[in-house]
Structure 1
């Protein structure tokens, strides 16, 4: 199967087309499912937050109504008269009891309204309270109760003659005399927890989820199921931390199942409504989307496979027939021509093939002729090669003859030239020591000083600690040549060439400067621009520096071996000379 795939264009083309068609289909399906899943999840969360906000609005309405009712009760003149009277007035007692009974019965969520006197008068209430946990709560939370004008209690139990034992939440506030602003009693209005639970149940929360109303300390005031009241919510959701802000959404796992937690704060109190939706509620909807997407992609993929196979067979049939005819051709014999019956791409291919056969026959003949010529040229090239050792030996002979003739100047110049050439060849090595590079530059400048006598002075100032460090060879000589040929030679007066080498931290800085004619600003900028263009052209063939100073080769070699920051830096002023410098990193010493 693998061998058939390698040989068959039809198989390759079919596979590539199927990959090109099916992969985008699969990617589209995955993206569509991911988008649909996220939209479903976001929609479910938004719906949950809207539900919590509606519950919050209903509870906030009750809380504000109770608060307004308490202000209304405290301001009643009969209530004030009854509590301010030094002795209990039976007539005022009866009137106020009837008032509270009418007021309490008008609100379904009111469990009881109770007014106690600081002067020991009989308690006013819309129903007889047989037992209440409120006094114990007030005593336990005396600091909160007395430090504020009103206080909402946590959940506690009340037992009355009308409703029996009920769990209630109460608003408690002191009653003060309107005239003297003196404390004369306490008012408590209790909300039936069963009515709060009814609001939670009627909200249409997910049947498999849970919803709670939390007190300030995250204790459960009411729940959808009526269970775990007065317990901390952390018992239900252990990993739930502090619920910050007016609302939010978070995820958690319990018993291997993922859940989404939503919470919303009541505007008037620091109470929160917390709801939990199991993730599987909206992932069930995602399964339907996944099934629908998979069916659509599967049908599209099957149709794509059928069409690809059909069209591939139709397109490659002429090429299959052509390959069957060509496989029996003997390469040692002249290539036979093939009859062309069509003018489409396959016909053009056959026509080109016939022309190629003719061309190959002509090239065979030409190749035989070229091979004969090449053998003659190779013999001539071998004869023309110069052995470097022959060159060194010849120079040494000239040096010895000059010494024998006591011509020290010629001997010195030939010896210097021999050292110069020996280092330049250097067995093809690219790096040398700093000392070798300096010696090579000194040999060159010594030769040039003999050539241009009394034209310039020269001096080297190189830190001796750098002698054994390695560097790229043939960097200084082209710069010195540039200074002599284009700076000092054109100067009427005698000039100087100075070479500096010093350590700069982990690098070496070399400077070649002369006191020649210098360069004009426009010419200097042009050279800098050309060097910059060489760096930007990368590995391609850069345009040569038109100055002819030989700087381009040094600049490019520096950047290729040491990086773009190691190029040449040129400074020059007309009539003052030119200064060329470069910085290279310090390499290891010679072993």
Structure 2
């Protein structure tokens, strides 16, 4: 058990170290991607000879910016057989001139070229940019961003001391080291625990994600190993076995104390929760007794909303009170319905009187041969006949269109025949059923508020079409329009009434929409469910 805990602890340590290295590698890859994708560097490397001062200056500025922001970078080189540029932050350059020619023949250069455009880390002195430096080198082929053909090579040297900054704050009772693929020790946090030579001697025995117990100089060590997949670096953790055992014993004692404390807390919590639940259930019982009486709303009683019983209880009170309110509204609605029936009967009588009066005016005008008055009276008579619709609130699209035609014939007399009216109604829709008085108020609104302000070219179009079981009826005018789109429920009574009637009869997915543009006109669209039966 102790060794299992030790393995878990050291694995967590290696996970953190591996994450730190991976983060560093990703940061490094980001730097290289910035350089490889730079238009300045692309332009510089595409020259057949170094003849653009501006390209070299821009390249130098970019490389200098990278080295200034990343203090661990010793030097950066980009180049090809035609042009090249290198910038260093310390030390002496290993090459006097023609660096590309010097490194082209190295084994490391070939590995970079053969790595399929991916970056590669290595620790070989044949491609160090600086003299007498303990550096790690990163190399990558630079491709043309337009056609992906190679146009050069990128080489970056960074100081091996970067690992010291990476792991200096890593808390561990043992040691942590990093070696490259050639088993060269790049970093050793504490040489007093194990020297570079001792760690290098152990490396052949280690496998990835492995743990071994090793006797070194009469002391037993637990050694774990992890290979970073991004760079190939091997991370090694070495800790004295006795130190880890001591930590395990301390952990066991602390765990026992915590279990005891948790047990005491559980008993106290169970008691408090039981008390709380009992209190909530008592309140719930009182509430149900009040509900049985059904005499009044439940007020001034509430539950603690921090538990499920409280939430359910408060919801139950809300639903009970809401149900009482709905019952009251139902009674009031029935009373209003009775009153509406009386008003409807009275309104039914008044249009009949007007209808009969208009017929009388018509025959009187015919008798005296006053044709315009006779036509207007006849149109109004037929208009009100269609409005009455034998007391039925459902009519046909055909009747609605005829009613509009009668209305517009009357209005055209008022406007001296300046109204230009077109109808685009699908023939099959004429016998479809629809709520009465849906279209005429929109036509009246278009004439009164849209076209009446114009002196000429007053065009009005009424269209109706069927789309997937939905009937769309549009009233389009080329009137003065308005700048802000109106909200139906904040507009006039007629528009609000139309939208409300549609939603009440057909459902919330149907209704009236208004679109308008200043000085271009307005479109009012009714969307209802298509029905050929009543």
Q: Which has the larger radius of gyration?
A: 1
TM (norm. structure 2) is 0.40
Relative contact order (alpha carbons < 8 A, sep ≥ 6): 1 or 2 greater? Answer: 1
TM (norm. structure 1) is 0.37
